[in-house]
Amino acid sequence: MYCNRKFQMIICLSILTAMIFFPVRMFAQENKEIVEHEAGFYYTVQKGDTLWDLSGRFFDSPWLWPDMWSENSQISNPHWIYPGERIRLFHQKGIESFVGKTVSKSGVLKKEPQKEPLYYYYSPIDKIGFIRKDPVVPSGVIFKVKDDKEMISTGDLVFIRSKGDIPPLTAGSKYSVYRTLKPIVDQKTEALIGTQHYLTGIVEITKIDPSFTVAKVVQSYRTIEVGNLLMPYKRRSRKIELIQSKKGLDGKLIISEEYANIIGDNDVAFIDKGSQDDVKPGQQYSIYYQEKQRLNTESKKDVLLTQIVYGTLLVLHTEKTTSTVLITRSDRGINLGAKICSPIE
């Protein structure tokens, strides 16, 4: 107790000294006003979920669960959350710092805003795949695992055979492991949309031999199999800056990453718009439906009714003609082929 009082006295004396010896006019040249703004994303609790698990999954550290609890005042007991309950996963306060500078002798101040961008933190960003019309040319293929294990996982050694006339594998380098799935074709036009690249993990090259290469599995997202392919690993930022969405965009959901027929909150999917459509990571779009109705029995034409928004998505990654997205809100199950558009107010 004595130490605390002594510390408080020292702080007070320090502040008093600063007020006496440093002229007050030094603060007249700059005046700061802080305005807070915020953005949120939500998650619908599933059976078996805990704040500890969700914190580890979405924020890369289970020890941050108290922060998640503090942002959800409706949760009275942090040890009990219930399926169907909607909780705030992300709550990032941005700061707009308005710096005032003296522009005249009269002391008139001009405010110049300096904004810190809002962002969405998505920790599993490295594991999301993509759809590309022309498949990636692989750097190599896994043809064997040490001890012939059926389940390849983190820490296992795999043997790789180089593939194609591309830059050779190099010791110490990391490579994303993936497999390509069945080419996707538009059901109406039968035009090729592209090939899904399904990421399964990361390996690091440990040894180069004349006829093969040895690598260690440093991360396993999903089951890695013999026959999986390699491409150079490129680390993606987990902080996705939220930016202005493209106006006048219309598109649709192609498939979900896990081939589910109906998707919802926090599922990863693909849309039929990409960088050539000015779609960029950090943009958000609305998921909607629009019914038709004949106004009267005499009319032969149907009228489009008001668009009903029942979900939102966030763009995580873009290719030329497609993008990988995260469903950030769903008021009901979302079917594949669902329509998307620029945000509807």
Do 97 and 36 have their domain in common?
yes
Whether 121 maps to a domain, the answer reads no
Is residue 9 situated within a structural domain? Answer: no
pTM of this prediction?
Answer: 0.69
Domain carrying residue 186: 126-232
Residues 208, 145, single domain; the answer is yes
Do residues 319 and 132 touch, judged by C-beta distance below 8 A? yes
Domain assignment present for residue 5? The answer is no
Judge if 265 and 311 occupy the same domain.
yes
Q: What is the pLDDT of residues 312-330, one digit of tens each?
A: 999 999 999 999 999 988 8
Asked whether residue 90 is domain-assigned, the answer is yes
Q: For residues 105 and 26, state if they share a domain.
A: yes
Query: Residue 76 domain-assigned?
Result: yes
| DSSP-H helix ranges across the chain | 2-21, 51-59, 65-70
Count of structural domains within the chain: 3
Last residue of a domain, one of 232, 263, 284: 232
Q: Tell whether 30 and 69 lie within a shared domain.
A: yes
Lowest mean pLDDT among 43-52, 202-211, 306-315: 43-52
Residue 215 inside a domain? The answer is: yes
Distance CA 274, CA 97 (A): 34
Residue 334, SS3 per DSSP: strand
Q: What's the pLDDT tens digit per position in 74-87?
A: 888 888 898 888 88
Res. 118: pLDDT tops 70 = yes
Regarding whether 67 and 158 lie in a shared domain, the answer is no
Structural domain includes residue 8: no
Count Cβ atoms within 10 A of the Cβ of residue 25 and give its class: 0-12 exposed, 13-18 middle, 19 or more buried: exposed
Q: Is residue 2 part of a domain?
A: no
Domain at 62, CATH number: 3.10.350.10
What was the pLDDT predicted at 12? 45
> What is the residue type of 181?
L
Residue 249 phi/psi, 5° resolution? -85, 135
227 and 143: one domain?
yes
Residue 266 pLDDT:
86
Query: Are 199 and 265 in the same domain?
Result: no
How do residues 177-190 score in pLDDT, each as one tens digit? 999 999 999 888 88
Q: Are residues 80 and 146 in the same domain?
A: no
Dihedral of CA 233/237/238/240: which sign?
negative
